[in-house]
Structure 1
Amino acid sequence: MTNFRAFRIHQDDTGYRAGIETMDTDALSPGEVLVKVEWSSVNYKDALAGTGKGKILRKFPLNGGIDVAGTVVASTSPAFKEGDKVLATGSGLSETRDGGYAEYVRLPAEWTVALPASLTTREAMIIGTAGFTAALALLRMTDNRQTPALGPIAITGATGGVGMLGIDIFSRAGYEVHAISGKADRFDVLRMLGASECVDRHGLAFSGKPMDSAKYGGLLDNVGGTTLAGFLPLISPYGNAAICGLAGSPELSTTVMPFIIRGVSVLGVASAGTARDVRDEVWSRLSGEWKPRHLDAICTKEVALEDVAGVFGTMLEGGSFGRTVVRIGP
């Protein structure tokens, strides 16, 4: 048994509360792999969980943090041994089991991923769920015959973690990328990441027609609502719209016209419960031909474990930019 610090979330008769406290490894969720945590990250889902503004946790108490990377200190699984570097994203972390905002985490072997040799634990957490989501979207799109020849990919919410990593990943994979964002003062950064065109979302003027002139080969959408509805009529025949977020709205009011006339496909991107074989393929791509080239620029903030709660408010108000990593180890 080892005592350690954790950002732990409670809901009981006294209400919803979260903060740093001391616990011991015997109290962690069960699993075959005990990891000394080095890095985690902050995602929108973490902000919802840490403030109680979203129903993320399905049981209480739990440690927050849906991403984690570190070093194995004990394992009953033959797949992992002491000293191995590993990572995990989603897979029930900070939802049904203790997450990565702690100095130790215990993981099921089936969801523990060996850290690729070309990544450090910090780099893996800059990528984290956000980069995994963007790469999973690209994998789903290419599996459905998306090609650069269909036209540029529009990426909404382009200054968020998924958006910035998506620009880097899609452009590296050979796609022309058009970044859609309301933060025009960040356009220089988006162009540096690989966007060939930046569009201010405040100036978007959708026609409202069920079909419009095709302008984009595909879409990676983090926003939902009227933004998603506005882009669907602009997608080229047999292009794909990969949907991974609802920063604007979970609602969608549209027509079937783009789907039955142009053969546009809507692909859901659910990164948290991705099957293990797909998960391994995505991390293989992320550490190889799709590895983001600008991780240092995408990581715009680093905080210590005790300061993680201070990031949540800004993120929920739409003020975050890029990725925030959480330093757990020294």
Structure 2
Amino acid sequence: MFKGVLIEKDPQNYTATVKDLDDSVLMDGDTLVSVAYSTLNYKDALAITGKSPVVRKFPLIPGIDLAGSVISCTSGKFKAGDQVLLNGFGVGEIHCGGLAQKAQLNSDWLIALPKALSAKQAMAIGTAGYTAMLCIMALQKHGVMPNCGEILVTGANGGVGSYAIAILAKLGYNVVAATGRVAEAEYLKALGASEIIDRHTLSEPGRALAKERWAGVIDSVGSHTLVNACASTKYGGIVAACGLAQGMDLPGSVAPFILRGITLAGIDSVMRPVKDRTEAWDRLAKLLDSKTLEDVATEIGLAQVCDTAQHLLDGKVRGRIVVNVNQL
């Protein structure tokens, strides 16, 4: 038996509770992992609360991230005791995920935990930090370097935003953070933001073209915020879009694309090839120090997951939530 969060659904009820589980709840996979830490992401919160149809198979253990040690692997890719991590690949959506003490997974979904990181540190980074790194890699491949100008980060108090600011600042970029919680300005400045702007300056309908300001943008918000970010991106700049906290719609104009030649780069972290994952995680391990990880992450136990999921959706969570699955 092992403990985990289980989401169940019938015609009348949708529930997420911490339960004692046995191996029969686990799904097919060639690798059995003893999970040490998981995380609570925005997508996990949607799954746990049922606010969005993230989960497509029931019953299901949520959790799109996990880190732990291999118990057994029949594919030969890993051996017992190997430290591994996982982000995405439908885990926590259509396959039982990381918010439990065990996970049965496909070895092709796993990568080796970078030696410089502990399981807890890797989950302090999680999908949020990994996605932020993919966004930064997109900016750099487009040629946006620190001397090109300001970088806008929206949803700055969230996990992706927090890590994007910290990593960009470490790399020497001038970062402007957009947030709805301007009272958190000191936290964002401590991460490396040079200026804080109120998200309401971006979240309402705006002009098709605004004054050019941003050399690049990392947006985890979507909707009008993404449209306004595009409208104020400099000629030839790039906007990396990775989230939809405001909405999935894109109520904008083609003007920034055909008149200023900007690029809108979609950043998918779920099905990203292993080569890109490995590059991103190797860079994260080198760039993020233990103090940054401690500043950004808060640790909770399994018993706190369901309540914290609602707090996250209510905008009451700052930074990252790390879940110690062996602590209640």
Name the TM-score, length of structure 2 as normaliser: 0.95
**Aligned partners of 1:202 and 1:292: how far apart in 2?**
33
Say whether 1:329 aligns with 2:319.
no
Read off the aligned partner of 1:261 and give its amino acid letter.
L
User: 1:89 — aligned with what?
Assistant: 87
Query: 1:233 deviation in Å?
Result: 1.7
8 Å Cα contact 1:286/1:292 also seen in 2: no
Give runs of aligned pairs for residues 165-314 of structure 1, distance below 5 A: 165-203=163-201, 208-289=206-287, 294-299=292-297, 301-314=298-311
Which residue in the other structure is 2:69 paired with?
A: 71
Distance in 1 (alpha carbons) for counterparts of 2:304 and 2:203: 40
Q: Supply the AA of the counterpart residue of 1:311.
A: T
Deviations 1:202-244 (A, max 9, x none): 4559893322321111111111122222121211111111111
Equivalent in the alignment of 1:8:
6
Greater mean deviation of Cα atoms: 8-17 or 197-206: 197-206
CA deviations 1:145-179 (Å, max 9, x no partner) are: 22223211100110011110110112222211101
Deviation of the 1:103 alpha carbon = 0.7
Q: What residue number does 1:164 align with?
A: 162
Distance change in 2, residues 1:209/1:203 (3 Å): closer
Deviation at 1:144, TM superposition (A): 2.3
Q: Is the 8 A contact 1:150 1:236 kept in 2?
A: no
Greater Cα offset, 23-32 or 267-276: 23-32
Deviates more, 1:141-150 or 1:238-247: 141-150
Q: Tell me what 1:320 maps to.
A: 317
Q: Say whether the 8 Å CA contact 2:38–2:323 is kept in structure 1.
A: yes
Q: Aligned equivalents of 1:319 and 1:64: distance in 2?
A: 21
- What is the aligned length? 327
Note if contact 1:165-1:292 (Cα within 8 Å) is conserved in structure 2. no
Equivalent AA in structure 1 for residue 104 of structure 2: R
Which residues of structure 1 form unaligned runs of 5+? none
Contact 2:205 2:224 in 1 (8 A): no
Deviation at 1:288, TM superposition (A): 2.0
Answer yes or no: is the 8 Å Cα contact 2:32–2:103 preserved in 1. yes
Mapped partners of 1:257, 1:290: distance in 2: 37
- In 1, the alpha carbon distance for the partners of 2:62 and 2:100 equals 8
Q: Give the aligned residue type for 1:76.
A: T
Contact kept in structure 1, 2:153 and 2:218, CA below 8 Å: yes
Name the CA distance, whole Å, in 1 between partners of 2:256 and 2:289. Answer: 32
Structure 2 counterpart of 1:313, one-letter code:
Q
1:2-39 CA-partner distances (Å, limit 9, x unpaired): x1111011122442112112222243111122111111
Q: Is the 8 A contact 1:157 1:223 kept in 2?
A: yes
Question: Pick from 127, 130, 136: which aligns with 1:129?
Answer: 127
SS at match of 2:167: helix
Give distance in 1, aligned partners of 2:202 and 2:259. 24
Which 4+ stretches in 1 moved above 6 angstroms?
A: none
d(CA) in 2 for partners of 1:77 and 1:286?
28
1:39–1:325 contact (8 Å) kept in structure 2? yes
* SS of match in other structure, 2:286: coil
Pick closer, same or farther for the CA change 1:85–1:144 going to 2, 3 Å. Answer: same
Work out the CA distance in 2 between the residues paired with 1:103 and 1:10.
18
Q: Distance in 1 between matches of 2:260 and 2:303?
A: 51
Shifted more, 138-147 versus 285-294: the winner is: 285-294
User: 1:205/1:83 Cα in 2 relative to 1: closer, same or farther (>3 Å)?
Assistant: closer
Distance 1:100-1:14 versus aligned 2 partners, 3 A rule = same
The alpha-carbon deviation at position 293 of structure 1 amounts to 5.8
Which stretch shifts more, 197-206 or 183-192? 197-206
Q: What is the identity, as a one-letter code, of the residue corresponding to 2:299?
A: E
CA-CA distance at 1:290 after TM superposition: 6.0
Report if aligned partners of 1:168, 1:293 keep a CA contact under 8 Å in 2: no
Residues of 1 paired with 2:302 and 2:123: CA distance?
Answer: 14
Aligned residue identity for 1:123: Q
